[in-house]
Amino acid sequence: MSRISGCLSTLRASGKKALIPYVMGGDPNPLVTVELLHAMVAAGANVIELGMPFSDPFADGPTIQLAGERALKAATNIQSILGIVADFRKTDDATPIVLMGYLNPVERMGYPVFCEAAHAAGVDGLLLVDMPPEERHLVAEHCDRLGMDTVFLAAPTTVDARLESIASSTQGYLYYVSLKGITGSGALNVDEVADRVAHIRSLTDVPVIVGFGIKTGEQARAIGQCADGVIIGSRLVATMEALADKPDEIPSAIGAIIAEIRHAMDTPA
Amino acid sequence: MTSTLTTEQAKALSALPDASGHFGPYGGRFVSETLTHALDGLTADYQRLKNEPAFQAEIDKDLQDFVGRPSPLYHAERWSAGIGGAQIWFKREDLNHTGAHKVNNTIGQALLAKYSGKPRVIAETGAGQHGVATATVCARLGLECVVYMGAKDVKRQALNVYRMKLLGATVVPVESGTKTLKDALNEAMRDWVANVDNTFYILGTAAGPHPYPMLVRDFQSIIGRETRAQSLEKIGRLPDAVIACVGGGSNAIGMFYPFIEDRDVRMIGVEAGGRGVMTGEHAAPLSAGQPGVLHGNRTYIMEDENGQIADTHSVSAGLDYPGVGPEHAWLKDSGRAEYVAEDDEPALDAFREVTQREGIMPALETAHALSYAKRLAKTMRPDQHLVVNMSGRGDKDILTMAEIDGISF
Ligand SMILES: Cc1ncc(COP(=O)(O)O)c(C=O)c1O
């Protein structure tokens, strides 16, 4: 069993919900990120989604676009992201890490080279936003051999036949995008999400994690009622933007937000 | 020169894309899941409508009465004689309503929007020609129109920005990334994801995720179909070569596609060499890039060593794009079409020369194709014939030319 599946099934068995923060690797510079990851784990994060910057992030709103621009300005690339993961792994070999990004930088590095290097650094899963299940063959051989999970997205607009094929392709968890839109947008409709998640759960046993639009502890707790966990992204990234000139303060500030959301999720309503 | 492909190979090329939108290894649909449903819906709507006589009749009527088709095939006799080689002909897309080939595609896609009941249209634009063509058709059909345009392009194509506003469209300057066409395309995709229920995305070139490259090609192929028939009538045979500039590749694929199986007709796409392909400051992915994934399809792109999309440069905003339609990528690899690059300077020279020799002011994009046509014509005999796709007229570029000449109004 992969580190991701192990972690999520342990949580499920104990009735707890997964809290998964998303941050952009190298934002505002690669030196900050390792300490930030440790601070998030200490505050109660279960799995980490680590963003790899791309020049053309067409599925992201302004907040995460700007984070990518800051990271690229600080010369972040795949090698430096993998360096961050390897450093993190020196003192934490329990927390699963999923790399999240776009296909082209990975393709440029070369799929076998990238997969080998990511696995060696301690990466557990891969979520490439513009690699749909139909294109999984690009990485399949290497990920399967190395035991690295490929995580896929489902959206509010995904039709049933496709949901079934996504559920059977995804590994570790299924990332349910809770709203129509890009990262950082819109208001979350918890009831609507609950209906959809219940439907997905009737199709598959794979853990369902909900992301997009979740900002508060209260929302996280509500979503936790129906799903296996939540992903918090834009709120964290916006806080990092505000502290871009004071990177030393980022780990504790982000840690405090994670702790607040963790507390809300673990407290019965 | 006959292309080395067999008849069967040429036939197979023109049968593409396959059901999943691939042209050989290129094309496809590399998008986030949030867009998949919309693209499936668009594919289904198009497959259904394209064989409906009423839909096709409406397109044909609009192309005739609103756009002014067929556009003439014009013999540039004086320019040809001055060059002293092959006869050069212009396919006059510059005479279309709104001044470029772009309207062929917006007519088709806007009717798709109408038939699929979407009241809101979005588009991306570089030079502003596609934005103007979209705003024009939306005004006529009563559709709301929002055009995304890189902030850098908003400045250098101010005239077209104002035209779009006069037509009732909202122009949104895009400040992210390099502030050019590629970033406008990103922003349009973001809008579409969020507003997919009521919004139709009219993509302006033969790129993007499946079905767009096919859709845009089909709507633009009227150019090549007319050219083929007009050549037979006016030249008495097919031309020796057809030449078109390549930004995203829509005017070029529209010209090329109906000629794919005519193996004796060379097809030559001309990219923007900018300050010179060797300087790195250009927009010529087919000439100097490599395969990668951008804007939802696999194609030739310009990127840095980390796979980040590179900055491009061209004097013409409409060619300033780091990718290219996937069908061109496959036409290149398969050897059916050739791709070359022309730099800013010779393109500007061609702009002036054709304006003064023929009384036809070409768009700066088109000037790249004209510049290469001149080079090629010189190496050919007077009984040989080249057709250049005059993709647009140069009125929109007058301010750019004036600035180069040091004139301010
Ligand atoms: C007149 C003209 N020609 C050519 C182009 C390049 O686009 P494409 O390669 O899609 O024909 C443009 C784009 O704006 C244009 O306005």
Q: Which of A95-99, A250-254, B214-218, B311-315 has the lowest mean pLDDT?
A: B311-315
Q: What is the pLDDT of residue B3?
A: 64
Q: How far is A183 from chain B (nearest CA, A)?
A: 9
Determine how many CB atoms are found less than 10 A away from the CB of residue A79: 13
Q: How many CA atoms lie within 13 A of B33 on its CB side?
A: 26
Cα A142 to chain center, whole Å?
A: 21
Just list the catalytic residues of A: 49, 60
β-pair partners for B150:
B174
Mean pLDDT across the stretch A84-92?
98
Are A221 and A265 in contact by the 8 Å Cβ rule? The answer is yes
- CA atoms of B83 and B347, how far apart (whole Å): 16
Cα A68 to chain center, whole Å?
A: 15
Alpha carbon of B351 to those of A196, B76, B113, B347, B372: distances in Å?
A: 58, 14, 36, 6, 12
- Chain A, 199-258: which have a CB under 8 Å from a chain B CB? none
- Whether B190 sits inside 8 A of A177 (CB atoms) is no
Q: Which of B98, B100, B123, B121 is nearest to B111 (CA)?
A: B121
The string of pLDDT tens digits covering residues A12-46 is 999 999 999 999 999 999 999 999 999 999 999 99
B127 alpha carbon – ligand 1 mean position (Å) = 8
Show contacts of B162-166: CB within 8 Å, 24+ apart.
B163/B128, B163/B132, B163/B135, B164/B128, B164/B131, B164/B132, B164/B135
A165 touches chain B (CB under 8 A): no
β-pair partners for B290:
B301
Nearest CB to A78; choose among B294, B303, B306? B306
Test mutation, B18, B22, B34, chain A, max A CBs within 10 A: B34
Does the beta carbon of B248 lie inside 6 Å of ligand 1?
A: yes
- CA atoms of B333 and B338, how far apart (whole Å): 9
Q: What is the pLDDT of residue A179?
A: 86
Q: What is the pLDDT of residue A268?
A: 80
The pTM score is: 0.96
Q: What is the pLDDT of residue A182?
A: 78
Q: Is B124 a catalytic residue?
A: yes
- CA atoms of B390 and B75, how far apart (whole Å): 12
- CA atoms of B37 and B43, how far apart (whole Å): 10
Q: How far is A30 from chain B (nearest CA, A)?
A: 16
Q: What is the pLDDT of residue B2?
A: 54
Nearest CA in chain A to B36: A158
Nearest CB to A181; choose among B20, B193, B295? B193
Average pLDDT of chain A is 96
Determine how many CB atoms are found less than 10 A away from the CB of residue A4: 23
CB pairs under 8 A between A and B: 111
Test mutation, B148, B179, B183, B190, chain A, max A CBs within 10 A: B190
Q: Which helix (H) or strand (E) holds B131?
A: helix B129-141
Residue with tokens 């470029």: B100
Determine how many CB atoms are found less than 10 A away from the CB of residue B114: 18
Nearest CB to A180; choose among B20, B29, B34? B34
Q: Which atom of ligand 1 is nearest to the CA of B251?
A: 11
The three-class DSSP label of residue B318 is helix
Per-position pLDDT tens, chain B of length 409: 456 799 999 999 999 999 999 999 999 999 999 999 999 999 999 999 999 999 999 999 999 999 999 999 999 999 999 999 999 999 999 999 999 999 999 999 999 999 999 999 999 999 899 999 999 999 999 999 999 999 999 988 888 999 999 999 999 999 998 898 999 999 999 999 899 899 999 999 999 999 999 999 999 999 999 999 999 999 999 999 999 999 999 999 999 999 999 999 999 999 999 999 999 999 999 999 999 999 999 999 999 999 999 999 999 989 999 999 999 999 999 999 999 999 999 999 999 999 999 999 999 999 999 999 999 999 999 999 999 999 999 999 998 999 999 998 8
Q: How far is B2 from chain A (nearest CA, A)?
A: 35
- CA atoms of A175 and A230, how far apart (whole Å): 9
- CA atoms of A35 and A37, how far apart (whole Å): 5
Q: What is the pLDDT of residue B208?
A: 98
- Whether A132 sits inside 8 A of B29 (CB atoms) is yes
- CA atoms of B232 and A97, how far apart (whole Å): 64
- CA atoms of B65 and B9, how far apart (whole Å): 38
Domains delineated in chain A: 3-11+18-151+217-263 (3.20.20.70)
Q: Which of A82, A47, A52 is nearest to A172 (CA)?
A: A47
Which of chain A's residues have a Cβ under 8 Å away from the Cβ of B307? Answer: 78, 104-109
Confidence band (pLDDT; 50, 70, 90) for A184?
A: confident
Nearest CB to B193; choose among A62, A162, A180? A180
The string of pLDDT tens digits covering residues A202-229 is 999 999 999 998 999 999 999 999 999 9
